[in-house]
Structure 1
């Protein structure tokens, strides 16, 4: 598709009406025509229940084909706010209150505290009932009572209406509301489809959560925009992944590095399935991918790994390594891939190549600002550029390297350490499977360097072994003063490792 669509409905349902678009295990495929009908019927149902285009609708539903279709349909008629089904009662209460949800759309058979919270807050509950005909993603909505009087009339051009509402991760402060318009999302889907050379012959295996921008835009919307299809097996499960891969006949998938690592851990047991695959590429985003992991995956599948750089405020993608024959640079997140990308100093001046500063972006996919947060917007935008909070530099060829988060940088007695640099060195040790470096409070230095490490199965290494390994490669002040060995590294709901607060989550400090 050459033209950028105006809204989610147009993006999702244009193309060959008879073509399969949503597929899933043991279900019949949904076609483009079927998806268009599903979207239109859902929007009519929302209007009959009194839901307006600018209302915020919380969605609680497990991943799979119905969640994919549900997001596309709800966002076409209101502002969709997908929430993690694993949230606790207090989290549902916070998020639904913060977005001022008009209704909760929830999986009919899901026993969730979200129901009780909605009742307490006076929010209407609408159940999602799968169609008995077994078509992937086909559903109906059932509500006990309307939200308000039925809404009539054509809403006209909705390209600048908010289609998706998400929160920032909130690792350092109260989570901020990020409203993204149809125009933002369509622009980002177009950017990703163009970067990856997606076409109607491509199919993506969706393993990223569909309450996260990476899954919603990086995998779902980009595929649909290109005229391709998606295979929605359900929530990620490394034990089931290779079975899904064999059944789905996909040409690519996108995941975070921790998922890639988990998949790699099962590859040896699934050599026949791996050998039969014809993947065009594998994509990684939302966190830094160690170059060693990238090389191992490329060797496994015999296809390139494309590392990209994204964030919620940019409707996902900002930069990406290109497909061959263009050069991919492991350790970088590639070239600007949609929005303008630059590096800025503290005074707001853009910096030349090779100079490190804060990464800034601007473009059609970038949010216009946080909701209900003028203070955050004032600090987030400078001269029309959005400040990402990431530190990095652009080399002479235009490739972007991220050196860390401004708030993740470890300040050890005035010495600034980028945790990623220590991660990369520890990952080179033959016994190390996963690592996260983080700040440890220190009485005299303010902060010290610490690391949590998962060892490879059957491998052994002591804290002194790893400290000696790092000391031979990095300056002494960058060597972790404490290394803890763990069976699992605590992660956020989307599978990303969150360095801030890691010492507390691991029980090292109170």
Structure 2
């Protein structure tokens, strides 16, 4: 198990925080201390997550003692954190100031639930994805089988542990007896790159936004002698950037992996190990998992190059959703995850995401993909986002794009063959992002509603 390791790893370095290094044996000693503080009996622990030794040790202590841990990113403000506490009534709150005993009540908790993760970024929504130990272990094993993680590797955290991708990086490296450099600096900061070079980091993970920024800052011109491979997930990265990163990896004898996942599948579901040849593919399902495509009637699609809704099956599919502590009493897990993404597969069985089922609008009955609109904006050299309803298309364009909005609207109207009255274009300061670096569409919609009055 990734949270219970063999004794022959005892002298391996497990975690590094600044100049502090803990071996696996020393990390386990710290875990034992936290287990003693939390006590016996199955409890609900709200963990305010930082990428530090304490958060890792508390997380592991909860898994080893069969407590349920609700992972909350440290960036979540106090009022939103308080709402989560009202909804879930945790027995313990753990933050940067220590462990704080809260409710003494013995909650009724499904024996399978182990971890609660949010999919809503920094909104503070009480909706959580409930994951079991089996989910976490299956995903850690699947990732470890698909990536070249070795005991000698050192990865660096670039994403919060409260985000499924970030947590998956930690789990998969613990699964392999590797080392984790715990970092809270932005990948665009000098401190991040100093730490990466000082500790001879061999891998890191990123989301589309972080790679777009890094490419602009000259990542592909760097000589990173110790870096063996790097991964991208957390959304679709534009083809041109995938190709640039794949070329960079090939030129420096490194590996680049494009991945696909959702919190509802514990994290990553697919790995594309050939992005230089198939830059728009998500590749194949991880070991233990499988994809299928279904049509609008729910029937399986057997033909290649036919679009359908992407469905995933595997032991890493969540137990279900929860909105409050009451929902944690019992789950009826589904046998498969309907991802909400549209996809097709090629003759070799590779999968390609073609859109998001919910990311379509139909003004005048015309079906318009909001993802396609954003791709078109990129092709025009515009940083922007698209949203809307079945009456109007709303486009937000970053002021840094320096384009005349009227001209852009005319081009877009011609591209979509849509009446100009159905297109609203607004100027925005910047693309809103969640704490994990994903596009924050709820915040964007709120911004549009404020601008439009």
Is the TM-score greater than 0.5? Answer: yes
- Separation in 2, partners of 1:451, 1:331: 25
Partner secondary structure for residue 377 of structure 2: helix
CA–CA distance in 2 between the matches of 1:340 and 1:160?
Answer: 26
Please identify, of 295-304 and 34-43, the stretch whose mean Cα deviation from structure 2 is larger. Answer: 295-304
Q: In structure 2, how many angstroms separate the alpha carbons of the residues matched to 1:248 and 1:466?
A: 47
2:64 is aligned with 1:85: no
Greater CA deviation, 86-95 or 300-309?
300-309
Q: In the alignment, is residue 496 of structure 1 matched against residue 405 of structure 2?
A: no
Aligned-pair CA distance for 1:466:
4.5
CA contact 2:154–2:181 (8 Å) conserved in 1: yes
SS at match of 1:10: coil
Q: 1:173 to 1:63 in 2, by over 3 A?
A: closer
C-alpha separation in 1, matches of 2:79 and 2:173: 35
Out of 388, 392, 397, the position equivalent to 1:452 is 397
Matches within 5 A, 1:383-398: 384-398=335-349
Please report the TM-score for the alignment, with normalisation by the length of structure 2. Answer: 0.85
Gaps of 5+ in 2: none
On the 8 A contact 1:171/1:501 being kept in 2, the answer is no
**Unaligned segments of structure 1, at least 5 residues:** 109-126, 128-140, 151-158
Give CA-to-partner distance per residue, 1:95-116, whole Å, 9 cap, x none. 22333311101111xxxxxxxx
2:225 corresponding residue in structure 1 = 277
Higher relative contact order (CA 8 A, sep 6+): 2
Q: How does 1:241-390 map to 2 (within 5 A)?
A: 241-267=192-218, 274-300=222-248, 302=252, 303-322=254-273, 328-338=277-287, 339-352=289-302, 353-371=304-322, 381=334, 384-390=335-341
Instruction: Quote the Cα distance in structure 2 between the aligned partners of 1:478 and 1:193.
Output: 51
- Partner of residue 221, structure 1: 171
CA distance in structure 1 between the partners assigned to 2:439 and 2:343 by the alignment: 19
Instruction: Give the TM-score taking structure 1 as reference length.
Output: 0.76
1:470–1:249 Cα change, 3 Å: farther
Number of aligned residues: 436
Q: Deviations over 1:37-68 (max 9, x none)?
A: 22222222211xxx523x22101143333323
The question of whether the paired residues in 2 share the 8 Å contact of 1:403 and 1:421 is answered with no
Contact 2:11 2:25 in 1 (8 A): yes
Deviations 1:51-98 (A, max 9, x none): 523x22101143333323332223332111111222233311222233
The 5 Å alignment of 1:89-168 reads 89-108=78-97, 127=98, 161-168=112-119
1:185 Cα shift?
0.4
For residues 468 and 199 of structure 1, do their structure 2 counterparts lie closer, same or farther at Cα, with a shift above 3 Å needed?
farther
From 453, 459, 462, give the equivalent of 2:404.
462
Q: Root-mean-square deviation (CA), in Å?
A: 3.3
Instruction: Please tell me whether the aligned partners of residues 411 and 448 of structure 1 are also in contact (alpha carbons under 8 angstroms).
Output: no
